[in-house]
Amino acid sequence: MPSLTPLPALIDNYMWMLSDASGGKALVVDPGEAAPVLDALDELGLELSAILVTHHHPDHIGGIGRLLEEHPRTQVCAPVDGRIPIAHRRVAEGDVVEFDAPAARFTVMEVPGHTRTHIAYCGGGMLFCGDTLFSLGCGRIFEGTPSQLLASLDRLAALPGDTRVCCGHEYTLANAAFAEQVEPANDALQARMRQARALRQAGNPTLPSSIAEERAANPFLRIDALPAREGQPKENRVARFAALRAAKDAFRA
pLDDT in single tens digits along all 253 residues of the chain: 789 999 999 999 999 999 998 889 999 999 999 999 999 999 999 999 999 999 999 999 999 999 999 999 999 999 999 999 999 999 999 999 999 999 999 999 999 999 999 999 999 999 999 999 999 999 999 999 999 999 999 999 999 999 999 999 999 999 999 999 999 999 999 999 999 999 999 999 999 999 999 999 999 999 999 987 666 666 699 999 999 999 999 998 7
Strand partners, 19: 3, 26
Q: How many domains, the chain?
A: 2
Range of the domain at 98: 1-110
- Report the alpha-carbon distance of residue 183 to residue 199 in Å, rounded: 22
Q: Are residues 61 and 34 in the same domain?
A: yes
Q: What is the CATH number of the domain that holds 126?
A: 3.60.15.10
211, 193 in Cβ contact below 8 A?
Answer: no
Diameter of the chain by CA atoms? 58
Q: Are residues 83 and 119 in the same domain?
A: no
Q: DSSP character for 221?
A: G
Q: Are residues 68 and 125 in the same domain?
A: no
2, 102 in Cβ contact below 8 A?
Answer: yes
Q: Are residues 222 and 237 in the same domain?
A: yes
- Report the alpha-carbon distance of residue 143 to residue 117 in Å, rounded: 9
Q: Which residues are known catalytic residues?
A: 55, 57, 59-60, 114, 131, 169
Q: Any residues with CB less than 8 A from the CB of 187 and at least 6 apart, and which?
A: none
26, 103 in Cβ contact below 8 A?
Answer: no
Please name the helix (run of DSSP H) or strand (run of DSSP E) that holds residue 187, with its range, or none: helix 187-201
